[in-house]
Structure 1
Amino acid sequence: MMHAGDVPGQLARGAALAALLVATTLPFSVQAAAAQAAPAETATPATAPASKDATAPRPLSESVAAIVNDEIISTYDLAQRMRLLIATSGIQPSQENLPQFQRQALVSLIDEHLQLHELKRVEKQQKMSIIATDDEVRDEISGMARENNMTVDQFLSVLKQQGIGQETLYQQVRAQMSWQRWIQGRYGSRLRIGEDQIKATEARLAAVASKPQYEVSEVLIDTNRAGGVDAAMKGAQQLIGQMQQGAPFAAVARQFSAAPTAASGGDAGWISPGEMPPEVDAAMEQLRPGQLSAPIQTKDGVYIIYLRNKRAGAGATVVDLKQAAISLPESASAADVEAARAKLMGVRAAAKGCDGLSAAAAKAQGVVAGDLGEAEIADLAPEFRQAAQTLEAGQISEPIRTKVGLHLVAVCGKRASGGAQLSHDQIENRLYGQQLAMVARRYMRDLRNSATIETR
């Protein structure tokens, strides 16, 4: 699911690790960790290690976890990546979910080895530089540290206290930066979005403009990478359980989602029916804002959807209302009602519109004014609905009788509900992003199919 600006080549600052210090499994606070670290003015800038971090604790012996095109992934590498994955996902490790962490860590390491192997081949063949340099990786990690109000040394110190060598972080960042740069450079300029594609998308969006729209975040579990449908469904259920216990959705999405939106914490923005698989559309209709879906099986994988907000389609009308009211019980006499009506008519005349209603009401004893905010006309109480339908923006109703009193209703604004339609350029960017993401997935699929991969 791609949206305008969501292009795989545009690596967001700290995309994979932005949640590292937001909500982790660290047994101490970030502030305390920062305080324990060396002061910024005395800290020595960190340098990218040329090999495995010499300062990190090493096991007495290592074995082979996997072999990828004759390159070894050791059990030490796997354990380090699992620790990093646990720290950045906000998920509490348990005997039940450790196999999921192990699979995710191993798959990520295998993919990174394939990517770097391919990039080295291209560099040698085309005599060009693609792989990110030590300075570029340091700059990226500096940005992560700044976003967490830390120096690089303080940032790396938090990792070290969790037993994570800094080379593990450097390796992940280097692979992500380099691969996304290559995909963008090789295919970005070749993709062409035709005018017919844009017009077809405009027509489809216009056709569903009157239907509800959803603001969602997503996690997509790739069934192939997860080890099959059953494993993907089980893994998704475990992630849902952890998020229900407090793990941040964005952190989980960054580390576990196979969707392009993973880099932005799973944020898919506002979507209309038809933009997601049919199974996801059906599930969203049953959700209320703030709810997580159950695992949703589709042909692309297993989705977890978090519905952040929902709005009516463009066919509904939204009004912005204020009121001035006098409290009157149902049993009030006709004389009391008439006296209140006369007082409110005086307020109405003095207000001369929505902006002056509060000030005019403040000068009338027993009249209380308030801002009712925005609401769809269909959701208003029947007594107010007709006034909202017939009045124009800036107009005030005559006194309206309800069970609790007498009211003036002012329409301060009126608009069609639903978001603005995407522009021509926004649609083009969205289609471009979708095509680039599809190309990247096919590229990785081909690399996996042609590689020699042995896991142990």
Structure 2
Amino acid sequence: MKNASKMAILTGALLFGASSLSGQTVADESVPQAGLNIPEKLTIFGENDPNVRRATAVVNGDIITGTDVGHRLALIVAANGGEVSDEERNRLRLQVLRNLIDETLQIQEAEANEIVIASEEINSTFDQVARQNFKQDLDAFDQYLRSRGSSSDTLKRQIKGELAWSRLLRRNIQPFINVGDEEVNTIIERLNASKGTTEYRIGEIYMSANQETAEQVAVNMRKILEQIRGGGSFVAYARQFSEASTAATGGDLGWVRPAQLPQSLAETAVQMQIGQVVGPVQVPGGFSILYLIDQRQILTADPRNALLSLKQLAISFPEGVSEAEATANAAAFAEATQNIKGCGAANEMANQIGASIVDNDQVRLRDLPGPLQGTIAQLQIGQASPPFGSVEEGVRVLILCGRDDPQSASAPSFDQIMSQLENERVNKRAQIYLRDLRRDAIIEYN
């Protein structure tokens, strides 16, 4: 599941976590030797402040500037609404530099294999990110990035790295991955036998660790978890820092059953609530932060896939309205809307009470905010939901005008399962591939 299609951001994390005073003596008989014959009592000579020494790097002749690091860091800070402490910013800067080093190695290796990513392809993907993830056109998105201290160039470079590495893996690794028909058929049989049990859609941020780095990696992941729980974007952190191949899709693992996960992740997932983020969870080779996006019953129709026809009635409050006035207006709105006799009377009611009205016949129940799903699921045709909203955004109700329940779910196809198995094996090979690139690289830090 884990691979190195993204950056190994915490390799050498002990440099960040250790005190580095000149002439400091360190004595810790519990430190593993890892075959390196390290003295149990040692002295670190000289200053070693990674925030100063490693601001830029030259990777096999390609320069990573402080501006490159700053622009990429700004993407993460923007995803957190700008609410990042100075301490956290310094820690993230170190991780971003390591990301950029791995990204540079990936691009270099792709170019050495005569893989060229056309600018048109990069721009097309950039356009998709702007429109799908940020709901903005290119000009507005470019202005948004610059206003946050970043640039479109840094995001395009990340896109180039992801495309180049993916294409390189498809050429150099995927053709040598074999998945037998018998393996796929066995999985299909297990799925059919598991009908009705629960599977989970999970987001994951994975970071590798060994005995020497485990403690510091766990500390860093807890800080990331704090940022996410404080309103930071899980997708943004996954894209920048996860070492799993799913980093390019914001950490989304897709739908998985507990049996497909490492035991520690499976035990955690089955106890989570939708929308919950937990971690760090120790897994073979490192740690993971988990985000439970959704859950469903295997090969069973999910009621939340029902397609709804809805009318929305909404009122807004004048600027400066007092809380008491807003509460009174909301109560009157609630009383009026609860007496609506079906969707046919909704337009007339909207005119009477001065409410705006919006129709939407293609709303999937699962796409509504979590707190609303249970409420709307209990409505009969023609009934209105309780009012919801805020003083700032106004109050609204949803009226259920129609509902098409889902049909029975079907198992993933033979080809889909084979593709998933192939991807897992490519991911494992990719981790080794990038490790070897790091080992052979000539890197100068300034």
Retained in 2: the 8 A contact 1:114–1:448?
A: yes
Matched, 1:426 2:416: yes
TM norm structure 1:
0.57
List aligned pairs for 1:151-300, cutoff 5 A: 151-205=137-191, 208-209=194-195, 211-223=197-209, 228-300=213-285
Q: What letter is aligned with 1:192? A: N
**What is the CA distance between 1:448 and its match in structure 2?**
1.0
Cα-to-partner distance string for 1:339-393 (whole Å, 9 max, x where unaligned): xxxxxxxxxxxxxxxxxxxxxxxxxxxxxxxxxxxxxxxxxxxxxxxxxxxxxxx
Alpha carbons of structure 1 residues 97 and 438: separation in structure 2 relative to 1, 3 Å: same
Greater Cα radius of gyration, structure 1 or 2: 1
Retained in 2: the 8 A contact 1:211–1:312?
A: yes
User: Which ranges of 4 or more aligned residues in structure 1 deviate by more than 6 Å?
Assistant: 313-318, 412-416
- Counterpart for residue 83 of structure 2: 92
Retained in 2: the 8 A contact 1:88–1:255?
A: no
Q: What letter is aligned with 1:264? A: T
Distance 1:169 1:215 in 2: 27
Q: Any stretches of 5+ residues in structure 1 without a counterpart?
A: 3-7, 10-61, 124-129, 319-411
Alpha carbons of structure 1 residues 227 and 67: separation in structure 2 relative to 1, 3 Å: farther
List aligned pairs for 1:304-383, cutoff 5 A: 304-311=289-296
- Higher mean C-alpha displacement, 426-435 vs 164-173: 164-173
Retained in 1: the 8 A contact 2:110–2:116?
A: yes
Retained in 1: the 8 A contact 2:238–2:251?
A: yes
Q: What letter is aligned with 2:437? A: L
- Counterpart for residue 103 of structure 1: 94
Superposed CA RMSD in Å reads 3.8
Distance 1:266 1:63 in 2: 28
Retained in 2: the 8 A contact 1:290–1:309?
A: yes
Distance 2:96 2:405 in 1: 53
Q: What letter is aligned with 2:229? A: Q
Percent identity of equivalent pairs: 30
**What is the CA distance between 1:314 and its match in structure 2?**
7.3
Cα-to-partner distance string for 1:58-114 (whole Å, 9 max, x where unaligned): xxxx99622322433232322222223322465731133223311221111101221
Alpha carbons of structure 1 residues 168 and 270: separation in structure 2 relative to 1, 3 Å: closer
Distance 1:275 1:249 in 2: 22
Distance 2:82 2:208 in 1: 19
List aligned pairs for 1:400-411, cutoff 5 A: none
Alpha carbons of structure 1 residues 162 and 436: separation in structure 2 relative to 1, 3 Å: same
Matched, 1:141 2:132: no
- Local SS of the residue matching 1:270: strand
TM norm structure 2:
0.58
Cα-to-partner distance string for 1:265-284 (whole Å, 9 max, x where unaligned): 22223221221111111112
**What is the CA distance between 1:301 and its match in structure 2?**
1.8
List aligned pairs for 1:11-22, cutoff 5 A: none
- Local SS of the residue matching 1:295: strand
